[in-house]
Structure 1
């Protein structure tokens, strides 16, 4: 079976990973972030100006830049919060318990007064679902760059926790080496304090496993220098990237970048995990790999009745998601995007009839659909998808969008520089710097880089977002097409309403409504 990462936006594994410095961004458009960092899966850090108006930056911090224990006690003192002991390892993480916030602050105050003694527990308040606990408090506003958040958009419809967190702890608290859940992106804003981030690009983690196949727990440990314990660690020597994050700055951590974080000062941060059209293929690939691991663990039970379903149960318990929930997420996001497009007057029509197979999927609808944009009388403004020409309406073949979105940017990059008779990263950089050729970012397909001020999401959808809404739907359709070809999916006993085929059918019905 062709892997989705091979046919769609495969830029996520090889672009930009040789860069060993982080760009610090101040004023940047969403489009620029989208094409230079989000699609290439390249990390960056935003300047403190992005958070300077946040309530948390003012109320949670004293005048000298330290956490305001007094304010925290008064407002959140009775909250029950999760606390990890950084001195105790537990299944590649830290042992956790729960405390009242006032009790944790008493500990922190005493720990700091005693100059952070090494023999005392090093407690880190982490993974606190603050937004769930205080939905009306308004501690921060999600930056526009991260608002296209399928994960929390979907999780908010479920009776479970979200992926929005507050972290706070004294100097010396830390998070073990890991990549983020579901191969999601993450962003982390320092409300106060200073963090040290240690990154390795995607793929390096395979060399950072010990002789038994276990990922290194502490990337700073001396054991990495021992080839008997970590036989392949030397292969990624020189790939390590270290970044210091200061007060107010926001770190963008792309999908699959393993990292370890150490608080160099008393620190408070706000963090979200999120995914969207840019990394949904990596999420699906990770889910497939996680299922394969489960199947290997219980391979001796393969002949048992309901084995495939039992694998999904274990997958959900171990990974926090299974195929059924993943499909439900795609269903939710596709429905939301279709409603947003309908509200913006995007009318669709077909140039020929189409046939559905036995499961109700239209096989050729993406090649025959035309968009009429901005002609609905309820739509106050026009949107121009592939052209800057101002007109009341325009027709755009969805096949053009589909092919553009499926085109591998890594292929674009390679082919472009080959045409320029340039090979090798050093030669490319030199030629771009000398002005001999344009950089690949300057010649990306226009569908990906037309100027816009806002992004797709569940709130404040504007007609300028149409290309991003369409991009979401195209990527959902691509992913669903790979799901229905997956052998493990075919073994699942699902009602039609829960199936990937049903979601594909909803998309096709919209295209031909």
Structure 2
């Protein structure tokens, strides 16, 4: 089944039918007024080619750092006999207090070329917090896991779900991506402890329930389309061609109870450090996050 495609969806309807109902969607007109020529591999290489980028395998393990030019030269326009690209370039903006090769300066330079998608809320956010600003447009502010994905044909992000019950947004500028989506109700079939099944080469001994499990959605994301991955949904993404995308995560105030329950059940989640980074100094490392959200927003667990 393909993901529902829409255009001209209002922000109110998106919140009701996608965020609150926890349903994926593809919006086909959310990038119409963006300068997509600024997000081609040719432009990015010519403008930012000497910048150091982060290169990962299909399980989010950092493999190397190299220049953007080196990554594109090695992994784009590969001949068939060279096989698919094996590594995936994820170039994130700053997401915690460490010195690293972040992409913030690149996003600052690209700020005029894109904007907040008209249907995605930039108010009433919990993560990142709206504490210090009424609106938080994506091209001007930091968000968790905000990054450029510049990835050669065949590179893949294996099945996962996004941290601390956040939603993810993926905007496709260049190339196509094949996407498998599994609902949160299929967790027992696609996970074993903290491990996720490889949906394209499953180990049925380790994941016995996966044998009769099918994706809720299988689709191909095309240039100019934006897909919304709701909290808790499992997704596996493969680049069918050389690809350029932008991604970020957020939690809306209507999802507070769901997020708080996750924090209570997983207090040792190492991604909570990143969540705290985007709370505008509202909490310290010693803050009891469950208690904080209960008191601030009157949510239960």
TM-score range, shorter chain: 0.7 to 0.9
Note the 1:103-502 alignment, pairs <5 A: 103-109=70-76, 112-115=77-80, 117-118=82-83, 122-129=86-93, 132-134=104-106, 135-138=108-111, 139-146=113-120, 147-148=122-123, 149-153=125-129, 162-210=144-192, 213-223=193-203, 226=204, 228-234=205-211, 237-291=213-267, 315=268, 318-321=270-273, 325=276, 329=279, 332=282, 476-479=296-299, 482=300
Change (3 A) 1:214 1:163: closer
CA contact (8 A) 2:88 2:150 kept: yes
The answer as to whether partners of 2:159 and 2:196 remain within 8 angstroms in 1 is: yes
**How far off its partner does 1:35 sit?**
1.6
Conservation of the 8 A alpha-carbon contact between 2:144 and 2:249? no
Is there any run of 5+ residues in structure 2 with no aligned partner, and where? 94-101, 134-141, 284-292
Deviations 1:416-445 (CA, angstroms, capped at 9, x unpaired): xxxxxxxxxxxxxxxxxxxxxxxxxxxxxx
- 2:15 is aligned, of 27, 30, 34, to 34
Structure ranking higher in strand proportion: 2
Q: Using CA pairs below 8 Å that are at least 6 residues apart, which structure has the higher relative contact order?
A: 2
Greater helix share, structure number:
1
Separation in 2, partners of 1:322, 1:54: 29
SS of the equivalent of 1:54 reads coil
Change (3 A) 1:102 1:239: closer
Q: How far did 1:179 drift? A: 0.4
1:46 aligns with 2:22: no
Contact 1:116/1:171 (CA < 8 Å) preserved in 2?
A: no
**Secondary structure in structure 1 of the residue aligned to 2:257:** helix
> How many angstroms apart in 2 are the aligned matches of 1:290 and 1:190?
32
CA distance in structure 2 between the partners assigned to 1:23 and 1:239 by the alignment: 15
| 1:475/1:187 CA distance change after superposition, 3 Å | farther
Q: Taking structure 2 as the reference length, what is the TM-score of the superposition?
A: 0.78
d(CA) in 1 for partners of 2:131, 2:143: 7
Mapped partners of 2:17, 2:130: distance in 1? 26
Contact 1:171 1:265 in 2 (8 A): yes
Partner of 1:78: 50
Structure 1 counterpart of 2:136: none
Distance (Å, rounded) in 1 between the aligned partners of 2:65 and 2:143: 16
Aligned to 1:424: none
**8 A Cα contact 1:132 1:161, kept in partner:** no
Aligned residues between the structures: 272
* Greater C-alpha radius of gyration: 1
Tell me, in whole angstroms, the C-alpha distance in 2 between the residues paired with 1:121 and 1:82: 15
- The structure 1 segments of at least 4 consecutive aligned residues displaced by more than 3 Å after TM superposition are 92-95, 152-157, 328-333, 473-476
1:121 CA displacement: 6.0
Deviations 1:110-149, CA, capped at 9 Å, x for gaps? xx3433623x862211143276223243142121332234
**Structure 1: distance between partners of 2:146 and 2:132:** 11
Contact 1:184 1:255 in 2 (8 A): yes
Q: TM-score, normalised by structure 1?
A: 0.48
SS of the residue 2:208 aligns to = coil
Q: Would the aligned equivalents of 1:152 and 1:163 in 2 still touch at CA under 8 Å?
A: no
Deviation at 1:239?
4.7
Distance 1:475 1:220 in 2: 44
RMSD: 3.2
2:20 touches 2:254 (CA, 8 Å); kept in 1? yes
How far 1:321 sits from its partner (Å)?
2.7
Q: Note closer, same or farther for the CA distance 1:475–1:270 as it changes in structure 2 (3 Å cut).
A: farther
1:82 and 1:30, CA in 2 relative to 1: closer, same or farther beyond 3 A?
same
Gaps of 5+ in 1: 1-19, 62-66, 87-91, 292-314, 334-472, 484-513
